[in-house]
Structure 1
């Protein structure tokens, strides 16, 4: 009997590892762009969301037409709704949450959503995956909780729902046969949901624009969202929901490093130790062999 490991059992050598790293870097860049755009009122949350989704949809539509002129965007209305809920609620919640607590709530909700759905689908969770997940989550708590102020209940709930929406969006991509076309279709379908924001504008939501705010929102839409999400859909169909959930726990760590390098935020010795714990837990979880479905005799 051959003992050669399959590609999924050796993620550092597999086809999905480097695309996953690109996606995680894009997710972290999204956090940095969001902080840069929303801080000091450079742009309001509604405008940021509209520019982010609109620019991402236009970019992806153009890429799909360039790659396959005879085929259109795919995706689904469920994917579009999940994407809109995540993007809008994330932007609104971020106005009142500091970066640490917001990231903890978001990715904690993402992880619980995806692990819960994995259990409902009957996926087996290996002891190694569970150990890595718990290790990564404990490191994330060490990184984000000390020094944080208690968030308002409304903002905390908005961020939790945003995390649930992103978890659902990720799970919808697990069966994606055309990641680029599906991501384009989801972005295009997310734009009409912006009509939900109309009552907010009628009842006094103030729209604000600046060159810097628009620039960061478009960068978020085209670079961090459109490109990152399309590649992410190509990754999640190759790994388990458990591995996808745990991988995303590394995003706040990468975002913290990005905040230090780009925004000038400081990174304490405790934070660096917590980063090592999170990344170690992620490495343990994603190198666990993917549970195999039982074969028919």
Structure 2
């Protein structure tokens, strides 16, 4: 092993490495088309860019992204307990710069942004995260084509941190649910959402683990772990497979700075579908 490292003539040159990576990538994208029905794109789509041998997800994204929405929330929430609020030096500092010092028990207005996915276009049902809607006084849903709708909260499901919104019916193809029980470590997945309020964003990765539990402060049950970039604002957006099916609803991440470090989590689609049914049953279907 040491001899190979010292002898440059036995090391692959950078150009050769790049060519090898491209060849392996092309093979990885082409093989599922021939051998795996589960990984095949929807009817009429291809993973190869027209006129080339390069892989692309663009045709699939054109089909699925119209069903992914941005969710903006106006909320009134209670001021969280913070020891700084009792620190006289901190209070003087705030007053010196003309800032109001909040008191414990006070309420304050907040705005937050997240994501959602249309699961029934005719009835206008949108699936999103419950934690995004805490204290909501107004909820606005924006489609990819920039149409805006005031949304109504039909109900929430505490066990999965999911919520169902309703907007007027829209002429959009809703995203179907896939079978999350079929997910395996290494499966390709795509996360779509509204990170940091930037607008619709697509990231890709693989399933890093299945049946993860004990994530975060709340007991959300078993989750799908992925390295597809999930950031604040992605909450409520779909995790989809290469067939354009929802296999999870993005809901949490682990990151020391609050950003992505390659460890994100989604509620499996089978649990999300059951939560949707429960909420609609309790609400009378809107």
Normalised TM-score (structure 2):
0.23
Specify which structure has the higher proportion of strand: 2
Query: If you compute each CA radius of gyration, which structure gives the higher value, 1 or 2?
Result: 2
TM-score by length of 1: 0.23
Higher normalized contact order (CA 8 Å, seq sep 6+, divided by chain length): 1
